[in-house]
Amino acid sequence: MSNRPFVLGAVAYDPKVVTIWEGFKQWFADQGFAFDYVLYSGYEAQAEAHLAGHVDVTWDSPLCWVRTRRLAEAGGTRAHAIAMRDSDQDLTSLVLVRADSNLTEVSQLRGRTVAVGAVDSPQATLLPLAHLAGLGLEPGSDFTVRRFDVMVNKHGDHVGGERDAVKALVAGEVDAACVIDGNHLVFAKEGTIAAGAVRVLTRTAPFDHCTMTVLDGVDRATADRFVQLLLSMSFDDPVVRPLLKLEGLKQWRVGRTTGYVPLESAVDRLSFYGPDGSILNDDYRSILGT
């Protein structure tokens, strides 16, 4: 096992990211494991840096996993999902309507306006739009899509776009809004959605969220030790508990890829990435300046 630090790439979608990884870095050091991290401003740069060998592991959004996997295969290697949070598994996204709306069936969204999150949000844009397409309503032709592009290139990790979409729904500016189930609860708790103000029209199939990703060629002994340490973190440990709470989990779990099938399908259906990981969405490319 090398004495060189095992370097993780993560996206700085919120100031708390520094607190989280500084804390984890010290915890790893206390376990005798050399660890460091690099922060990126967005997931596209992170994926490309990973393929270039600048980091050993990346803390990927689900969309970043899709791109990293495709870039890796196009380059003749493979990506591996090695660890994820308990809170990353079996999630769903919702299409909400106002409680007083006359909309009771998905087909009634034809000719209406649906609010979504940022262009690159898997949970508030890609997955729910692909879900509606699978139910017979093509985004942009059968209904109008109103996007809320907050902090694009953060892949929806910053929930501002979802919050703005829900605010537009509550204000009567749109007919429906797309959010992940967890944020639906958050928005209700914080008062963005008043009690009884909205209801669920439809929900997506379950999917998984973030993952720790490594590529073929990483030092497997070191990567395995990294995973073992993650899995050993206990919510009962007063040192690590605040960090786990900030990161939104109670327990790390072994990674899996079955939960990314719906997003892979959505990416293809909506022509977001190509099979080789190239960025196809023109709006996204324009915002990124590529």
Q: Given this model, what pLDDT does residue 290 score?
A: 86
pLDDT band at 1, cuts 50/70/90?
Answer: very low
Residues 6+ apart with CB under 8 A from 184: 94, 96, 193
User: What does the pLDDT look like over 190-222, one tens digit per residue?
Assistant: 999 999 999 999 999 999 999 999 999 999 999
Cα separation of 60 and 94, whole Å? 22
pLDDT band at 2, cuts 50/70/90?
Answer: low
Q: Given this model, what pLDDT does residue 44 score?
A: 98
User: What does the pLDDT look like over 230-256, one tens digit per residue?
Assistant: 999 999 999 999 999 999 999 999 999
Question: Which pTM value belongs to this model?
Answer: 0.95
Residues 6+ apart with CB under 8 A from 29: 35
For helices 160-170 and 181-190, the axis angle rounded to 10 degrees is 60
User: What does the pLDDT look like over 6-50, one tens digit per residue?
Assistant: 999 999 999 999 999 999 999 999 999 999 999 999 999 999 999
User: What does the pLDDT look like over 78-106, one tens digit per residue?
Assistant: 999 999 999 999 999 999 999 999 999 99
**Strands of the 35-40 sheet, one edge to the other:** 35-40, 6-11, 57-60, 211-215, 79-85, 252-254
Place of tokens 């999902």: 81
Give SS3 for 108.
helix
Cα separation of 290 and 268, whole Å? 20
Instruction: Report in angstroms the alpha-carbon separations of 120 from 70, 131, 165, 201.
Output: 17, 16, 14, 23
Cα separation of 153 and 158, whole Å? 10
User: What does the pLDDT look like over 40-83, one tens digit per residue?
Assistant: 999 999 999 999 999 999 999 999 999 999 999 999 999 999 99
Residues 6+ apart with CB under 8 A from 258: 208
Residue 130 token pair: 């692909």
Cα separation of 86 and 251, whole Å? 6
139 and 130 Cβ atoms separated by less than 8 Å: no
Q: What secondary structure does DSSP assign to 192-256, as a single string? A: SS-TTSEEEEEEPPPB---EEEEETTS-HHHHHHHHHHHHH--TT-TTTHHHHHHHT-S-EEE--
Residue 93: its H or E element = strand 93-98
* Domains of the chain as residue ranges with CATH: 6-88+208-269 (3.40.190.10), 93-205 (3.40.190.10)
